[in-house]
Structure 1
Amino acid sequence: MNPDTRRPSLHVTALSLGAGAAARLSGWSAICPAGLSLIVDEEGDLKTGLLRVLAGETAADAGTVRWNDADNRAWPPAQYKDALFWRDPRAPWPEVSPAHWAQDLAARHPRWSAADWQAHGQGLGLTEHLHKEMFRLSAGSRRKVLLAAALASGAPLTLIDEPEAALDWASIRYLRAALADEAARSAKAGRVIVVAHHEPMPGVPWAQVLRLP
């Protein structure tokens, strides 16, 4: 089933990371509707692993993740990746500029918005850095590139990890305002955005806040 033919939904059922008494997450279930969902992991050691499972990058020890009523492991890889925006912010970056990377993303994501990419780049203070190679950018600037791309991608399922890490306060304020704007747009468009952070992010109208044990 093509992910654009129905209203997207993400269902997580009885998910476990780790087995037995050593399980880091056991029997966790959630439904993420259209709009913005926040996953709060105060200890900070679960959320990235959970997002990688939601993205189909790794497998859980137990449980299922269903996207549009189909197990995410059953999607053809290219089809699932077209519906998904996810990148671990700690992963090595390609030796290209943000502008070049954005061109590749625009070719992959049919709902990519060049206007949003430019607006978020400007709002996050990236304009002068867009044509520099990624390795020349600071950790904070690379995070900003990732955030601008995630929001501009229009991907039906968008996963964002630690959005405020390494950001200056002005960028944090902009990001929260951008997420607030995106909340209404996403709910209307049927876009599921899942954000994972170590603490609540005020000022954003979350569809739900899910706390990991």
Structure 2
Amino acid sequence: MFKHAHFKAHTALFLQATGLTGGPGAAPLFSGLDLQIPTGLTAVTGDEGTGKTSLLRLLSGDLSAHSGTRPATDALWLNLALPEHDEATPEQVWSALQQQCPRWSTELQQDVTEALSLQVHLGKKLFMLSTGSRRKVGLVALLASGATLTCLDQPYVSLDQGSIQVVRGFLNDMADHPTRAWLVADYEADPDLDWSSCITLG
């Protein structure tokens, strides 16, 4: 099952994918998918195993499609849980990504780092951090990246309530952005966010 809700009135079309077919395995998880992503916030919802992460990876270009078209855009999806990041410090992660993200905001990086109480962890390698702190490092990168399409995969997992409020507040500030889009994957759409659109997988 696939459902795509209508845009709210003040949003514009940001990205259109046609006949998108692909997934992480040999057999495509998605076949002939047509999507219209508006500016602002789009929820990608569904149960475990329905393909939320795979869809974000396909739309960001992190996962190559077998067929179909996804217009080129400045997109970012990030998974810092992978072992390849274990030996890097938060600042090394951000510095490497900054080279890939021409709209990166150092000021926003510093503001979100402070808001998420990450300053005390900046000299530590990622393997030394708790799951929550490691996820915060990824969130700083995604929020500061300036990417025109930013993909957030279950952004609230392992976060304390104060940090959830920081992320929620930032996203609501971005909800009416005229030239950027945010895909937020989770089991359900956060009722406290001002969504432009919702994609339901199942």
The alignment yields a C-alpha RMSD, in angstroms, of 2.3
> Could you say which residue in structure 2 is the equivalent of 1:152?
144
Higher fraction of helix: 1
> Could you say which residue in structure 1 is the equivalent of 2:19?
14
- SS for the counterpart of 1:67 is coil
Is 1:95 paired with 2:100? no
Q: Which runs of 5+ in 2 are unaligned?
A: 1-11
> Could you say which residue in structure 1 is the equivalent of 2:193?
204
CA distance in 2, matches of 1:10, 1:129: 37
Q: 1:160 Cα shift?
A: 1.5
Is 1:58 paired with 2:37? no
> Could you say which residue in structure 2 is the equivalent of 1:178?
170
The verdict on how the C-alpha distance between 1:100 and 1:24 changes in structure 2, with shifts beyond 3 A counting, is closer
Q: Which of 27, 37, 45 is the aligned partner of 2:42?
A: 37
Is 1:117 paired with 2:106? no
CA distance in 2, matches of 1:147, 1:134: 14
Q: 1:23 Cα shift?
A: 6.4
Q: Which runs of 5+ in 1 are unaligned?
A: 1-6, 69-82
Q: 1:140 Cα shift?
A: 0.9
CA distance in 2, matches of 1:42, 1:123: 31
CA distance in 2, matches of 1:207, 1:145: 26
Aligned 8 A contact 1:89 1:161 in 2: no
> Could you say which residue in structure 2 is the equivalent of 1:75?
none
